[in-house]
Structure 1
């Protein structure tokens, strides 16, 4: 049976950006396993379940009633209760200042090699879910970067939605320091769709001793922590291309092994493309 690993932020994921790929996997009969940075149960962003929310840059609602309900139903189920703990699975990369740096790096690369050549063989694809939380604990997560590089080494697809695409930009060989998407065609959240204010984070993290997130479960960081479009344009280099498809109803790009989806509205398309890649050997789509 085809098995897909889905990485989800612990700081708030956008409901549809999980539902789209997940439903496609379920419909195709794939087995799905969830992964979070520390093994905590992921939290959907409240705004991704609010059908009356009007997206400021686009001037329209981006939350359909059926997707809001599916997000609530998934959150109310037990399906996300026990995600795999990334921190327990992949070791932290040693600091160069370590007194035993060379020996530490030898042990590190041995562990990564074992994970790639043994553990990852159980999975046919990796999906990275978007939402503002992905900026916090997925984009610059070196453990997740090792998994991305592992899937690429195994010639297996990696799909990412919205701000989850940032992980692909930052995943790179620590010696060469070139992004894995250099020379590729990708899409992602364009600057045209970025908030001026209201980029929020939610999750089971507490600063007040409670278990309600940031006291009331939400904090507004204003604009996004970074302009994803600019990061992607730089990461793909002169031989690649960022394709925002601003104004189009959907933007999904397949430049194998990568499948990238612009934002919420492209989440279902991301799932469709993932199945096409896995079942129909599609290697190029959308450009």
Structure 2
């Protein structure tokens, strides 16, 4: 039976290699890949991620080879990304607590959400959240995506999150306990040393945020809490952590190995790697 992968992309730009790495691993394994965005708009690669001459400020070097830039352009311009699923169409929106008929609205929301999440989770073998600066805008605090993540965790199916996409895992919580699903877990993600001091931008928006609005490392350290740990692995060329059901990747060069490790999780039962 062919495995099916659900890949979530921001509508404000994804980092090219962070999509290409996993997708090429899935293609090589014979998996089917389906793409999903918050409202069904076609995703696009962030311009710096297709430019081999772009120098990443904190690393002081190019992070995109000419070959990878070519592969990113081929996928970004291909029809594969033309008609992504819409998360807003598939899952309901949680009502405000100030709604006039809140209790009935919440009961209806829970019924619809449980059914919709179950349908998606049943249809796919794993969830992938691609990184880049875009996820800061429309993925990190997306309640619909949080519910989808909780659904995959609830049935013990793996989730790969890359770079700023790992923030989704920190914020995905059962509202009864408010505890992050990565509490007590080992994860990696964008460390403080990799953060820009200026130039954080988003696809389709003429706006330079300056530095990122939050240091992801601090959020992940707090979310993992006692018993867990954030692994920055600063000074190491790659950083990918497997603490099942989570596979987390630090940044751009970790994209290819993270996809390959998720295949190992699915095919060989890998449950721990990198710590």
Q: How far is the alpha carbon of 1:111 from its aligned partner?
A: 1.3
Listed as ranges, the matches of 1:150-229 within 5 Å are: 150-202=151-203, 213-214=204-205, 218-229=206-217
Equivalent position SS for 1:38: coil
TM-score, normalised relative to structure 2: 0.98
Q: 2:145 maps to what in 1? A: 144
Residues 91, 117 of structure 2: 8 Å contact kept: no
Q: 1:246 maps to what in 2? A: 234
Q: 1:230 maps to what in 2? A: 218
Residue 276 (1) aligns with residue 264 (2)? yes
Q: 2:59 maps to what in 1? A: 58
Q: How far is the alpha carbon of 1:60 from its aligned partner?
A: 1.1
Q: 1:205 maps to what in 2? A: none
What root-mean-square deviation, in Å, do the aligned CA atoms of Structure 1 and Structure 2 show? 0.8
Aligned mate of 1:260, from 248, 254, 261: 248
Q: 2:133 maps to what in 1? A: 132
In 1: Cα distance, 2:127 partner to 2:34 partner: 10
Q: How far is the alpha carbon of 1:116 from its aligned partner?
A: 3.1
Equivalent position SS for 2:18: helix
Listed as ranges, the matches of 1:67-106 within 5 Å are: 67-106=68-107
Q: 1:33 maps to what in 2? A: 34
TM-score, normalised relative to structure 1: 0.94
In 2: Cα distance, 1:96 partner to 1:195 partner: 37
Q: How far is the alpha carbon of 1:92 from its aligned partner?
A: 0.7
Residues 52, 63 of structure 2: 8 Å contact kept: yes
In 2: Cα distance, 1:265 partner to 1:100 partner: 49
In 2: Cα distance, 1:185 partner to 1:268 partner: 20
Q: Which moved more, 1:111-120 or 1:44-53?
A: 111-120
Equivalent position SS for 2:35: strand
Number of aligned residue pairs: give it: 274
Q: How far is the alpha carbon of 1:105 from its aligned partner?
A: 1.1
In 2: Cα distance, 1:65 partner to 1:48 partner: 11
In 2: Cα distance, 1:89 partner to 1:125 partner: 17
Q: How far is the alpha carbon of 1:269 from its aligned partner?
A: 1.0
Q: How far is the alpha carbon of 1:43 from its aligned partner?
A: 1.3
Q: Which moved more, 1:68-77 or 1:135-144?
A: 68-77
Write the deviation string for residues 202-238 of structure 1: whole angstroms up to 9, x where unpaired: 1xxxxxxxxxx33xxx432111121000000000011
Gap runs ≥5 in structure 1: 203-212
Q: How far is the alpha carbon of 1:118 from its aligned partner?
A: 3.0
In 1: Cα distance, 2:119 partner to 2:14 partner: 29
In 1: Cα distance, 2:142 partner to 2:114 partner: 18
Gap runs ≥5 in structure 2: none
In 2: Cα distance, 1:64 partner to 1:161 partner: 19
In 1: Cα distance, 2:108 partner to 2:67 partner: 48
Write the deviation string for residues 6-44 of structure 1: whole angstroms up to 9, x where unpaired: 000000100000001111111100010000000000011
